[in-house]
Amino acid sequence: MSVPAVFVLFWRLPAKKAVFMTFFGSAMFLPCVVGFDLPVFPDFDKEILPGMAALVAAVALRRKALKSPPFGGPEALLIAMVFGAFGTVLTNQDPIVHGPATLPAQSFYDGIVDSCDILMRWFPPYFLGRSMFRTRKDLRQLCRWIVFAGLIYTLPIFVELRLSPQMHNWIYGFHQSDFIQTIRWGGYRPKVFMRHGLNVALFMTVTVLIAMAMWKAKVGLGWTKWATPRRVFAYLFVVLLFCKSTGAYFYLMGLAPILWFAPQRIQRLTLIAMVSLILGYPMIRQAGWVPVDAITDWMTQLVGEERALSLWFRMFTEEQVMENARDRFVFGWGGYGRPYEFDAQTGLQTSVLDGFWVIEIGRHGLVGFFCLFGMMLWPVITVARKLPAIENDKDRILLGALGFCCALYVFDWIPNAAASLELTFMTGALAGLIRGVLEEEQKRKKAERRRRRQAAMDGADADRLPREPVPEGVSHLHST
């Protein structure tokens, strides 16, 4: 979404709708892998430019809608990550030689560029979501908008299922990823305007889970009478099946039954288990506790040898990079491909990484990993802790569903590098919603206590009023 279009949205629409349309519209329709190359700053692509434009527009045109101070919550971890980026510079002052290839040392300039990238990529979507979405009404509206975005995206998905993934090529003149990766099971895996078909599948999985939660909570979509949450869920579920992503199928099979059938205690334990697995995964891999061969054999029997070998190759390259990362585990190796493996004869990079977690470990070390992943999992942890305090059943169901979607988004960073602008915004919105809804609950309880106290005081005052004198000879106990 262009910068002028963002300012027009904030000028003509309510702030919440404008910011939602900016982030989701940009992720759904802007071109991938292109951007403005500027000195010092990172490339202004669809992952950075819309967020910066929305932040400036919100401050300039809708400042009253920003209900929280910047860096007043989980975003403070980004400041620690910025200091960690300069720690990476200080611990990587040596060039690395791989045969004919020489990887330069990290400089202070690299630290400035990396810090700008961290702040500009992660802060705007997360902060705007946390600051603007704070009430029970915002919660329902956000869920409706997410489902509606999924419905809109089904139209180009069906086009690409029939005519092959060509939308990005038709509109922008090039394919955003290798076309061979779209061929699945005798047909095509749509990718529309997102970087990869896996991004589309994850996006649709989120919309399916939110639609299911609205069905369970009996929260209407508010569009037309026939578009009930149950019908919309069924339609989005069918579209997700056509996305042909094995990982998305596993995610849905694992989370949908818990979201629909499991009691609150099991849901909270599941969220805690997901957070623990994500944050502990580097140590688990480092200790060699992941049975790579057993997982590969099981996947071969379940989904075939081709998909199982793809998973095995990912884990194998992760082990290579983790062995290299052990030498600089705290702050990582920095940029220029320094964390990766290279051929000593040709100087060509041999590591091909898919998991965002291992990319982050290799580049920024444990400091960068825990700061970034901690910020993203902060609202999930809060939901797991505070969900019992939400007395309204509908709010509890919707917040739980958003918690699962945000946990799933970060969990997907283990096998894939599917960081996306709109889901980062959704995670920030959850951070604001869980706190805001709790504050509404507390205000409601305080108002109820005041009402009861006032009623009790009024009753006591009535008892202290002087009684009307009873005439002599008339009994206090008489029948009428």
One domain, residues 271 and 249 = yes
Residues 85-103, mean pLDDT to the nearest whole number: 89
Share in percent of the chain as helix, strand, coil (round to 5): 70, 5, 30
Q: What is the pLDDT of residues 168-207, one digit of tens each?
A: 999 999 888 777 777 777 788 899 999 888 899 999 999 9
The confidence band for 475, taking pLDDT boundaries of 50, 70 and 90, is: very low
One domain, residues 99 and 53 = no
The confidence band for 474, taking pLDDT boundaries of 50, 70 and 90, is: very low
Residues 375-394, mean pLDDT to the nearest whole number: 94
Q: Is 224 part of any domain?
A: yes
One domain, residues 34 and 153 = no
The confidence band for 303, taking pLDDT boundaries of 50, 70 and 90, is: low
One domain, residues 192 and 259 = yes
Q: Is 475 part of any domain?
A: no
Instruction: Report the C-alpha gap between 201 and 244 in whole angstroms.
Output: 8
Measuring CA to CA, which residue among 131, 314, 154 is closest to residue 233?
154
Greater confidence, 460 or 316? 316
- Which domain, by its residues, includes 340? 74-445
Residues 394-421, mean pLDDT to the nearest whole number: 93
To the nearest whole number, what is the mean pLDDT of the chain?
87
One domain, residues 25 and 139 = no
Look at residue 214 in the predicted model and tell me its pLDDT.
96
Residues 18-35, mean pLDDT to the nearest whole number: 91
Question: 36: which strand partners?
Answer: 44
One domain, residues 236 and 362 = yes
Region of poorest pLDDT, from 51-60, 213-222, 385-394, 467-476: 467-476
One domain, residues 34 and 161 = no
Q: Is 451 part of any domain?
A: no
Greatest Cα pair distance, the chain, in angstroms, is 121
One domain, residues 18 and 96 = no
Greater confidence, 434 or 349? 434
Question: 184: which strand partners?
Answer: 187
Residue 413: pLDDT over 80: yes
Q: Is 194 part of any domain?
A: yes
Is 281 exposed, middle or buried, given 0-12, 13-18 or 19+ CB atoms closer than 10 A?
A: buried
Look at residue 421 in the predicted model and tell me its pLDDT.
92
Instruction: Report the C-alpha gap between 168 and 174 in whole angstroms.
Output: 7
Region of poorest pLDDT, from 1-15, 273-287, 309-323: 309-323
Residue 86: pLDDT over 70: yes
DSSP 161: H
Residue 465: pLDDT over 70: no
Number of domain units in the chain: 2
One domain, residues 94 and 190 = yes
One domain, residues 276 and 330 = yes
pTM of the model: 0.89
One domain, residues 48 and 194 = no
What torsion, rounded to 10 degrees, do the Cα atoms 318, 319, 322, 327 define?
A: -150
Q: Is 270 part of any domain?
A: yes
Q: Is 52 part of any domain?
A: yes
Instruction: Report the C-alpha gap between 110 and 42 in whole angstroms.
Output: 11
Instruction: Tell which of 66, 97, 113 closes a domain.
Output: 66
DSSP 196: S
Q: Which amino acid is at 155?
A: L
Q: Is 468 part of any domain?
A: no
User: H/E element holding 253?
Assistant: helix 246-261
CB 22: neighbour CB atoms within 10 A?
Answer: 29
User: H/E element holding 4?
Assistant: helix 3-12
The confidence band for 35, taking pLDDT boundaries of 50, 70 and 90, is: confident
Question: 183: which strand partners?
Answer: 188
Instruction: Report the C-alpha gap between 320 and 341 in whole angstroms.
Output: 7
Residue-wise over 31-60: b if at least 16 C-beta within 10 A, else e?
ebeeeeeeeeebebbbbbbbbbbbbebbee
Residue 412: pLDDT over 80: yes
Residue 468: pLDDT over 90: no
Look at residue 150 in the predicted model and tell me its pLDDT.
96
**Percent of residues, the chain, with pLDDT higher than 70:** 94
Residue 479: pLDDT over 50: no
Cβ 113 vs Cβ 42: under 8 Å:
yes
Cβ 310 vs Cβ 180: under 8 Å:
no
Q: Is 467 part of any domain?
A: no
Look at residue 299 in the predicted model and tell me its pLDDT.
73
Main-chain phi, psi angles of 102, to 5 degrees: -120, 120
Instruction: Report the C-alpha gap between 246 and 307 in whole angstroms.
Output: 9
In 304-420, which ranges are continuous DSSP H helix? 305-325, 356-386, 393-411
Angle at 85 between CA 81 and CA 91, to 5 degrees: 135
One domain, residues 276 and 403 = yes
Residue-wise over 414-438: b if at least 16 C-beta within 10 A, else e?
bbbbbbbbbbbbbbbbbbbbbbbbb
Would the CA dihedral through 296, 302, 305, 310 be positive or negative? negative
Instruction: Report the C-alpha gap between 14 and 105 in whole angstroms.
Output: 48
Q: Is 244 left (phi over 0), alpha (psi -120 to 50) or beta?
A: left
Residues 265-276, mean pLDDT to the nearest whole number: 96
Look at residue 406 in the predicted model and tell me its pLDDT.
97
Residue 130: pLDDT over 90: yes
